[in-house]
Amino acid sequence: LNQEKSFKIRKEIIELDPYVPGEQPGDPTKIIKLNTNENPYPPSPSIDQATREILDRGLLRLYPNPNSDSLRVALASIYGIEKDQILVTNGSDEAIRILFQSVLESGDSYAYPDPTYSAYPVFADTTLERLKPKPIPLREDLSFDWEKLKKTDSKLYCFANPNAPTSLLESKESVLSFVDSVDGMVLCDEAYIDFAEPGSSLIQETKSRMNLVVSRTFSKAYSLAGLRVGFLVGHPEFIQLLYKIKDSYNVGMLDQSIARAAVLDQDYFQDTRNKIIQTRKDFREKLQSLGFFVPESSTNFVFARPPKGISPQELFEYLKTKKIFVRYFAKGIASQFIRITIGQDEEMEVSVQEINAFLEKQKPDL
């Protein structure tokens, strides 16, 4: 190694606190995996044909459609928006990154409720130096402090709605009144919106607002986390500007085709969504009967605070020894909770049994 040289790399990258995704163990069939909000059901069977067609015809030798046109047509018809309002991306993570890169300039502030999806500050830090993050703590009831967010007078506001890790949905009215009261750009990340009350999405509101964009993903309700497809929806003129900075071929041919088949199979989509919502209801009730505080979830996970005297971190570690992976965040208000993804009914039953066993063990110490 020629040690007289040094790597040429930005100081911010060396100092960056990276986003840490939930663990992806080698063989997921040997554990109950409730740690990264994946869907426990397989994707629509209609994706098989979409895949086979491309492989059988040897089409992968060609570059994909650069703008994911067929997928955008399908999305536009399903969501009742215009094709030009949509930018398809490599997971919604890319959508968020493109937005940050396009909106923020050195010295700008960006605000977000804390906690929310913890990747936002990482996208910002890797975009530019000297950005000013303005994390605004959630109120005691875990809702957003809209007044304080507004007072930051930021160039960009970003949050997940429903929020992660809290699972709570902010009403459409409160988000819209915030959007209308600020000058900055607002990113409403709807990664989990399919698990909320129908009609909660702001996707339709983007056309009439210059400062609202919505991100969506195929990773959760469409069971396609392994594919990496997401999209951003906004005012058509704004979205067209973002096309300038995306990679030419940012979404693969198989990805476009599989995502299209999945979105067109709305019956299958509704079916799995409804199953998850029913399991969520049963699981929440069971946790509540064990003394947990579990806010009403609008997502495919619950945020659960164990009964008094029970350490969430110890519970998290105990479950891991039983090969049940959930998520624990050691920071701030989230450190009082564990986040548990909704799996299939049998997985949740085993989880309840193990949680109960842990509580029983702690009893003598209570």
Ligand X SMILES: Cc1ncc(COP(=O)(O)O)c(C=O)c1O
- Interface residues toward ligand X, by CB under 6 A: 37, 91-93, 117, 160, 164, 189, 191, 217, 219, 225, 230
Between strands 185-189 and 156-160, the pairing is parallel
**In the bound complex, what is the minimum distance in angstroms from residue 202's beta carbon to ligand X?**
15
**Closest to ligand X by CB, 279 or 300:** 300
Two tokens at 176? 């819209």
Asked if 67 contacts 85 with a C-beta cutoff of 8 angstroms, the reply is no
**Closest to ligand X by CB, 85 or 215:** 215
**Closest to ligand X by CB, 91 or 252:** 91
Integer Cα distance of 327 and 325 in angstroms = 7
Integer Cα distance of 75 and 260 in angstroms = 8
**Closest to ligand X by CB, 20 or 245:** 20
Label residues 44-81 b or e (16+ Cβ within 10 Å = b). beebeebeeebeeeeeeeeebbebbeebbebbbeebeb
Burial label for 225, CB within 10 Å (0-12, 13-18, 19+), is middle
**In the bound complex, what is the minimum distance in angstroms from residue 188's beta carbon to ligand X?**
11
**In the bound complex, what is the minimum distance in angstroms from residue 21's beta carbon to ligand X?**
8
**Closest to ligand X by CB, 286 or 343:** 343
Q: What is the length of the chain?
A: 366
**In the bound complex, what is the minimum distance in angstroms from residue 61's beta carbon to ligand X?**
27
**In the bound complex, what is the minimum distance in angstroms from residue 190's beta carbon to ligand X?**
9
Closest CA to 354 of 315, 327, 313: 315
**Closest to ligand X by CB, 37 or 152:** 37
**Closest to ligand X by CB, 117 or 328:** 117
**In the bound complex, what is the minimum distance in angstroms from residue 230's beta carbon to ligand X?**
4
**In the bound complex, what is the minimum distance in angstroms from residue 159's beta carbon to ligand X?**
9
Integer Cα distance of 66 and 63 in angstroms = 8
**In the bound complex, what is the minimum distance in angstroms from residue 42's beta carbon to ligand X?**
17
**In the bound complex, what is the minimum distance in angstroms from residue 228's beta carbon to ligand X?**
7
Integer Cα distance of 189 and 225 in angstroms = 16
Residue type, 328: Y
Q: Calculate the alpha carbon distances from 139 to 117, 144, 148 in Å.
A: 17, 6, 10
Residue number closest to ligand X, CB atom: 91
Residue position matching structure tokens 């909770």: 337
Asked if 289 contacts 104 with a C-beta cutoff of 8 angstroms, the reply is no
Integer Cα distance of 351 and 314 in angstroms = 15
Helix or strand holding residue 202 (H, E): none
**Closest to ligand X by CB, 64 or 91:** 91
| Phi and psi, residue 231, nearest 5° | -155, 155
**Closest to ligand X by CB, 37 or 44:** 37
